[in-house]
Structure 1
């Protein structure tokens, strides 16, 4: 992945991004009063190789002028039919409100469809109001079966087929 949006570069994660990607996620979680869980829900960002790349998923980072300002990822899951879960879609506060989140979600959906998946699942927390609005205005339907402790909403969107 190597895609530009305005002044942003969306690209594949590299091992040198590990600390910066974790810092972006930790910062956004703290902004919304949610806990950073390196031993739990956030262990995947510290082990992208095993959690995403070896599982046929993708993990992207977003740069602006050489600084990491966001992340977005997905990996296949055993829920639903030919399903993936979008994970770690976080943007630093200073880059929100420019359409980047919607663009990133569309790029993730396109990559997921290209790889033959039929369902996209995403878990989020009600506190992440912008994320909830983005999913609800992008064709995601509220579902049941939240699996992540800090999340209280799960959505699904059927694509392709």
Structure 2
């Protein structure tokens, strides 16, 4: 039986050699929740080169690795079209074998720490109805639902929006 202890995985910054694995994860997990087609992050050009996209100032992206295999990731970046004090939690997706290990909670903490370290005062995110476990994690992490999107993410397919003070 596989270990579910928190040390059963390693959380670290993304590297160039992780790009293909993260692109595959994003492209397999998003359709699992009906997030395919226009208006979803699956179509963002950065999906194929995440390490480069998140190497910019005020950006950070981390992966969860277990036994040498990348199982998921998540990051932060300035909110496009938003206030300079607001970042966006972006592209946080995990393969099924990473779920239930506490990886989401650890990833959230790491991303929020990175946001604070970058000087952001609020963190925003967009999600989709049906991503119930993710929404529970957001709410446990101090995010509150807001009525409408902010910024200009280009993800018109999302229908649930959250904001959190840092």
Superposed pair shares fold, TM > 0.5: yes
Q: Tell me the SS of whatever aligns to 1:47.
A: helix
Runs of 5+ unmatched residues, structure 1: none
Equivalent residue for 1:150, pick from 145, 157, 162: 157
Contact conserved, 1:8 with 1:64, CA < 8 A, in 2?
yes
Alpha-carbon shift at residue 91 of structure 1 (Å): 0.9
Check if 1:117 corresponds to 2:135. no
Aligned residue for 1:132? 135
* CA distance in 1: counterparts of 2:10 and 2:22, whole angstroms: 14
Runs of 5+ unmatched residues, structure 2: 1-5
* CA distance in 1: counterparts of 2:106 and 2:41, whole angstroms: 30
Alpha-carbon shift at residue 16 of structure 1 (Å): 1.5
Aligned residue for 1:47? 49
Alpha-carbon shift at residue 40 of structure 1 (Å): 6.4
TM-score of the superposed pair, with normalisation by structure 2:
0.83
TM-score of the superposed pair, with normalisation by structure 1:
0.85
Contact conserved, 2:19 with 2:51, CA < 8 A, in 1?
no
* CA shift digits 1:71-98 (9 cap, x unpaired): 1111112424511101011111112112
* CA distance in 2: counterparts of 1:134 and 1:49, whole angstroms: 25
* CA distance in 2: counterparts of 1:40 and 1:94, whole angstroms: 20
* CA distance in 1: counterparts of 2:100 and 2:58, whole angstroms: 31
Alpha-carbon shift at residue 67 of structure 1 (Å): 0.6
Contact conserved, 1:21 with 1:70, CA < 8 A, in 2?
yes
* CA distance in 2: counterparts of 1:67 and 1:131, whole angstroms: 22
* CA distance in 2: counterparts of 1:117 and 1:96, whole angstroms: 28
Contact conserved, 1:142 with 1:154, CA < 8 A, in 2?
yes
Greater relative contact order: 1 or 2 (C-alpha under 8 angstroms, separation 6 or more)? 2
Aligned residue for 1:27? 28
Alpha-carbon shift at residue 121 of structure 1 (Å): 0.6
Kindly report the root-mean-square deviation, in angstroms, between the aligned alpha carbons of the 2 structures: 2.2
Aligned residue for 2:69? 67
